[in-house]
Amino acid sequence: MNAIHARAAGASPPSLSIAIAGSGGSGVMTAGAMLLDAAARSGRYGLMVRTSGPQIRGGEAAALLRLAEQPVGALDDRFDLLIAMDWQNLHRFADEIPLGAASLVVGDGDEGEPPAVFLADGARAALLSLKQIARAIPGAWVNMVTLGLAGALAGLPRAALEAAFRASWKRDGAGLDANLRALDAGIEAAAGIAGMSRLAPAPQRSAARAGNAAAGRWLVSGNEAAGYGAIRAGVRFVAAYPITPATELLEWLAPALTKVGGTLVQAEDELASINMAIGASYGGVPSLTATSGPGLALMTEALGLAVASEVPVVVVDVMRGGPSTGIPAKSEQSDLSFAVGGLPGDAPRLVLAPTSIADCLATTQWAVHLAEALQAPAIVLSDQFMGQARAIIDRPEDPGFFAERLTADESTPDYQRYRDTPSGVSPMAIPGTAGVTYTADGLEHSESGTPSSQARDHRLQLAKRERKLAQHDYGTWWADVEGDGDAAVVTFGSVTGAVREAIARVGARGPKLRLIALRLLAPALPEAMAAALDGVRRVIVVEQNHGAQLYRWLRAMHDLPGKPASFHRPGPLPLRPGELAEALLDWHGARSSAASARTRSGQRTTETMQ
Amino acid sequence: MSAAAVAAPTLTQVMAQALAIERAAVERYNALADVMEVHNNRPVTELFRKLAAIETQHVQQILAHMGWKSVATAPTVWGLLDGPESVPEEHVHYLMWPWHALQLALGAEERAEAFFARLAETAADEAARRAALELRDEERVHVALVKAWLERTPEPGTDWADDPDPPRYTD
Amino acid sequence: MTETLCPPAARTPADYKSATKPVWCPGCGDFTVLASLTRALAALQLPPHEVAVVSGIGCSSRIPAYTACYGFHGVHGRALAAATGLKVARPDLTVVVTGGDGDGYSIGGNHFLHACRRNVDLTYIVMDNHVYGMTKGQASPTTEPDWDSKLSPGGTGVRSFHPLVIALASGATFIARGYSGDPGGTADIIAQAIRHPGFAFVEILSPCVTFRPEQRNWKQQVRPASVDRTDDAARAARRIMTDDGFNIGVLYCAERTQYPLRRERVGGAVAALESEFVL
């Protein structure tokens, strides 16, 4: 067995990956959420993503979890355990639930045999009459049996499972008891199943709520974290138009904004939402909207207006499979090219990307700060994976970024809104301030804001708008640079977690790779990148899209050492640490310049360009 | 749709109305001069500026006559946007000739004359009535002046509005 | 408008005009609309720096820079959206939205519907000249179906848009029509519209001398509305549905809860929001 994947049977694994699946009201999502919560209560870390069919309700669904002692940044190469309450249409998720010889598949015997695809890699099957067990307890739900089973197989204490269930129970007392009995039935059933590696006993980190609070751990999704980051930076106006997978970000902001004195307006379309946000920002209030690829496309004209009229605004693009309507409920990193280059005219703008669920908070907070400081639009490239996954994380430190806009004082003599300044940033008059009224304009303009078609004015304003972004001091936040090897892996966004884990696995085999996880994608920072690449002789760019968008952007904007390589694959499937580690080893070890492509049965084709 | 005159105006009100009319005329002629200047019609720009200057003199005359120090301290009358001396916007054209502008001015003066004549009929007292009649006579003089001015101003031919160039796109 | 003597006002209409000279064609109705707007603002004595004029793209959308107020010259058709964001974020400002019939009823049509629904305290002034003037004369939504143009030879053949009907059906609470040839009346309507608590829609017939010179005869066609305004939507609907497009005045004025509903701002602590994440 490949050393990268092997775990000694019986030894406590570093992490445990569990998939819970079913359909038609079996309560898959709830079970998954409770399992994650239980892990949190018992002092573990974890990550949960969800996948489902297109039906609004009753469709096939799976909750995909990875639990560990340390914070989890990516899904593992395969699942250790798949519990399926039924098999309806579940073969659709076969690609998303990779299994191996060490995996265990538990199915309900009354629901038929597990589809062949789940057993093709040698996984072991066990059959339990989950639904019968549940039916034997009046008022009990089958997903509670599943929860008990999964929790016990994972080594989670009963107390944590019960506490998670009680916290989620919103109905009357009668069902409570029945479901606790179902939980116990599931735990009991686990005893009859051997050969499952369990998580190590709970660490010293206390399972009590007080302990968690003291340790400062959160259970949060990327969308929620981004919303909180926005508010923490000072956003007090949000315009919202729902779109998968950004809707929850907006829904989280609605009550949150009210609590801090802000407002959220539901717009009639994305054209309205971006223009509302710009209007509110023109009025001096830090503003934001969130969307996905198709919505961002609708917002482009207004983003150009924000560039030209120098009005700050932040748009969170929770990327999904593209192009066009694409794959709404799946993750991909394919809006990068559009975000960094997709505006008519020479229109410099800020593009940022959080590197993890936790980082959604700090990066959104930073994006607001930058947009306000530089009076420009900022696009935050989150994605469906980070946005909708829930993770147990250490309480993130507050990076301390706030909206601090340079504004004009009342009655400034000879005030010119778009006055050329060394930094490129000119004080902005806020409506209500006497003596400095002006008209903001998308038309090119003179320094006073009067529309102008003169060459001198156009050159001056173009240079001003470019300079204010290019010459800003972004400090060390623009990228996470880890390690000092002479071979570097460059990546961004949600892929960072898998890359980091792959680099660690590779490191265990010898080669020490440097990681550069970009947080600021535009403007490009040639000097900072050159410093980050100091001593690097070869670079590979890893990303989740078909067009190698980051690879092309970096090659366009920077002098990269050696012959830069690219590992890219579009969604909907996540990039996993194991396959990345193999690809990095291949790339690092290869001495010839021949291109190589490998396929393995049951795995996806990787593309490695040299 | 013109503004109704104040019913039974006193002397002060009559003079305040006259002041407002003249001030509106100054503003109007200056605005028209601006429009013509933007559209590169120098002769008419100069004409409107001249008319604005003349009306400014009238303003000064009224202030002096009433002992009002400045327009800022003089009584104000509202609502005469479309008063008698206002020029209907639709009768200006970027290619108009000074002759056209004087026709507009003539119409304004004639309307003003009629306005003060009506005002005299409803005046509150003799002083007001006499003031209104004086103003009417003043306007009559202006009418004659403009007519004389027209006599020595060339009349445009029928092709005055011809422009070989089509309208342009701007933004 | 009162004709009585008043003490010297702090601000005159001239105080609401900027030094920028309009580039509109001589004879354009928008000149008097600008005069009416400044007259209305002066009548209300609003400090110019507390007024924002928001516009889209088109000849009439040039108006913000010609005022001494704060201005926002946005993109085509989105003025109502930008104005909504501005007013909701800054309820202390007086926000006036301006534009033409193309900007407002074609590309802006969707935002028009929802602005009427929302009833944010805005004043929306549309200078309707039944044409796209800035792009050299194409039919607009309010153009007659048989009006010949290069883009639609022989006419579009499409029934014209009836903005007042749409506004009423969508929930606007103040609906009026003005005419640029009646500056005093228009100023009065605009002042009332600004004072109206909620979304006020004022459509002003404003002739385009360059592309629709025949609109000079609007002067003979407009008339004051023969009936007083109503606050009864059904009655207003009957009148507006049979309106020939030339009745001038405030046709409908009613009261409805403004948006947003909650006016009080709660000043909660940001850090308190974290508690829902804490395990």
Q: Nearest to residue C86, comparing CAs of A309, A307, A316, A285?
A: A285
A104-156, pLDDT tens digit by residue? 999 998 888 899 999 999 999 999 999 999 999 998 999 999 999 999 999 99
**Chain C contact set for A260 (CB, 8 A):** 266-270, 273
Beta bridge mates, A82:
A19, A105
C190-201, pLDDT tens digit by residue? 999 999 999 999
CATH code matching the domain that covers A219-394, chosen among 1.10.357.10, 3.30.70.2390, 3.40.50.970, 1.10.10.10: 3.40.50.970
Say whether pLDDT at A373 is over 70.
yes
Of the listed ranges A199-208, A368-377, A546-555, C176-185, the least confidently predicted one is A199-208
How far apart, in whole angstroms, are the C-alpha atoms of residue A17 and residue A44?
Answer: 13
In eight-state DSSP terms, residue C106 is: I
In this predicted structure, what is the pLDDT of residue B74? 86
Subunits with 3+ C-beta pairs closer than 8 A to C? A, B
Q: Nearest to residue B98, comparing CAs of B153, B55, B152?
A: B153
CA angle centred on C62, ends C13 and A307, rounded to 5°: 125
DSSP string computed for B17-66: HHHHHHHHHHHHHHHHHHHHHHTT-HHHHHHHHHHHHHHHHHHHHHHHHH
Tell me how crowded residue A607 is: count the other CB atoms within 10 A of its CB: 16
Quick one: A49 exposed, middle or buried, by C-beta within 10 A (0-12, 13-18, 19+)? buried
DSSP string computed for C210-264: TT-GGGGGHHHH-EE-SS--BS-HHHHHHHHHT--S-EEEEEEE-----BSS--S
What is the pLDDT confidence band of residue A605, given thresholds at 50, 70 and 90? Answer: very low
Tell me how crowded residue A9 is: count the other CB atoms within 10 A of its CB: 8
Q: Cβ of B5 and C29 within 8 Å?
A: no
Say whether pLDDT at C152 is over 80.
yes
Of the candidates C2, C8, C136, the beta carbon closest to that of B79 is on C2
Both tokens of B69, joined, read 């120090």
Say whether pLDDT at C137 is over 90.
no
Both tokens of A248, joined, read 């929850």
Reported residue count of chain B is 171
Quick one: A223 exposed, middle or buried, by C-beta within 10 A (0-12, 13-18, 19+)? buried
ipTM reported for the complex, 2 dp: 0.89
Both tokens of A150, joined, read 């999964």
C69-97, pLDDT tens digit by residue? 999 999 999 999 999 999 999 999 999 99
Q: Cβ of B81 and C21 within 8 Å?
A: no
Of the candidates B6, B39, B167, the beta carbon closest to that of C26 is on B39
Of the listed ranges A25-34, A55-64, B4-13, C17-26, the least confidently predicted one is B4-13
Both tokens of A135, joined, read 């039916």
How far apart, in whole angstroms, are the C-alpha atoms of residue C28 and residue C180?
Answer: 9
Domain positions in chain A: 15-191, 219-394, 406-472, 479-606
A326-337, pLDDT tens digit by residue? 999 999 999 999
Of residues C176 and C216, more confidently modeled: C176
B49-66, pLDDT tens digit by residue? 999 999 999 999 999 989
Of the candidates C27, C187, C209, the beta carbon closest to that of B81 is on C187
Given 3-state DSSP classes, what are the helix, strand and coil percentages for chain B, each rounded to the nearest 5? 60, 0, 35
Domain positions in chain B: 11-76+93-151
Q: Nearest to residue A468, comparing CAs of A357, A576, A325, A312?
A: A312
Cβ contact B153:B162 at 8 Å: no
Say whether pLDDT at A557 is over 90.
yes
* Residue type at position A594: A
Q: What percent of chain A has pLDDT over 70?
A: 92
Of the candidates B16, B78, B92, the beta carbon closest to that of C27 is on B92
Element at A441 (helix H, strand E): strand A439-441
**Chain B contact set for C224 (CB, 8 A):** 1
Q: Is A305 touching C (CB cutoff 8 A)?
A: yes
Cα atoms in the Cβ-side hemisphere of radius 13 Å centred on C105: 26
CA angle centred on A212, ends A210 and A214, rounded to 5°: 70
In this predicted structure, what is the pLDDT of residue B83? 59
Domain A479-606 class, CATH top level: alpha beta
What is the pLDDT confidence band of residue C150, given thresholds at 50, 70 and 90? Answer: confident
What is the pLDDT confidence band of residue A421, given thresholds at 50, 70 and 90? Answer: very high
> Mean pLDDT across the stretch A562-572?
97
A191-200, B69-78, C103-112 — most confident range: C103-112
A175-231, pLDDT tens digit by residue? 899 999 999 999 999 998 887 777 776 655 444 444 455 468 999 999 999 999 999
Chain B residue with Cα closest to C223: B1
Q: Cβ of C89 and A284 within 8 Å?
A: yes
Architecture per CATH, domain B11-76+93-151, reads as Up-down Bundle (1.20)
What does the buried/exposed string (b/e) look like for A227-253 if buried means 16 or more CB atoms within 10 Å of the residue's CB?
Answer: bbbbbbbbbbbbbbbebbbbbbbbbbb
Quick one: B171 exposed, middle or buried, by C-beta within 10 A (0-12, 13-18, 19+)? middle
What is the pLDDT confidence band of residue A8, given thresholds at 50, 70 and 90? Answer: very low
Domain A15-191 class, CATH top level: alpha beta
Both tokens of B50, joined, read 């001249």
Who's near C225: CB < 8 A, 6+ residues apart?
Answer: C177, C247, C248, C249, C251
Q: Cβ of B89 and C32 within 8 Å?
A: yes
Q: Cβ of A302 and C110 within 8 Å?
A: no
Of the candidates C75, C93, C270, the beta carbon closest to that of A432 is on C93
Name the average pLDDT for chain A.
91
Of the listed ranges A24-28, A516-520, B134-138, C98-102, the least confidently predicted one is A24-28
How far apart, in whole angstroms, are the C-alpha atoms of residue A145 and residue A129?
Answer: 10
Domain positions in chain C: 20-275
Q: Cβ of A224 and C272 within 8 Å?
A: no
Say whether pLDDT at C22 is over 80.
yes
How far apart, in whole angstroms, are the C-alpha atoms of residue B162 and residue A38?
Answer: 85
Q: Domain C20-275: what homologous superfamily?
A: Thiamin diphosphate (ThDP)-binding fold, Pyr/PP domains (3.40.50.970)
Q: Please name the residue ranges forming H helices in A4-157.
A: 28-41, 116-119, 130-135, 142-154
Q: Whole-prediction pTM value?
A: 0.90
Element at A502 (helix H, strand E): helix A495-508
Both tokens of C175, joined, read 């609906």
Per DSSP, the three-state class of B165 is coil
**Chain A contact set for C65 (CB, 8 A):** 439, 441, 449-451
Q: Which is it for the CA torsion A329, A332, A334, A335, positive or negative?
A: positive
C200-234, pLDDT tens digit by residue? 999 999 999 888 888 988 999 999 999 899 999 99
CA angle centred on A286, ends A282 and A292, rounded to 5°: 100
What is the pLDDT confidence band of residue A463, given thresholds at 50, 70 and 90? Answer: very high
Name the average pLDDT for chain B.
86
Per DSSP, the three-state class of A549 is helix
A38-52, pLDDT tens digit by residue? 999 999 999 999 998
How far apart, in whole angstroms, are the C-alpha atoms of residue A227 and residue A219?
Answer: 14
In eight-state DSSP terms, residue A472 is: S
How far apart, in whole angstroms, are the C-alpha atoms of residue B139 and residue B144?
Answer: 9
Mutate to test the interface with C, among A36, A275, A436 (most CBs of C within 10 A): A275
In this predicted structure, what is the pLDDT of residue A544? 98
Residues of C with CB under 8 A from a CB of B: 1-9, 14, 21-29, 31-32, 35-36, 39, 43, 57, 134-137, 180-185, 187, 207, 209-211, 216, 219, 224
In this predicted structure, what is the pLDDT of residue C165? 95
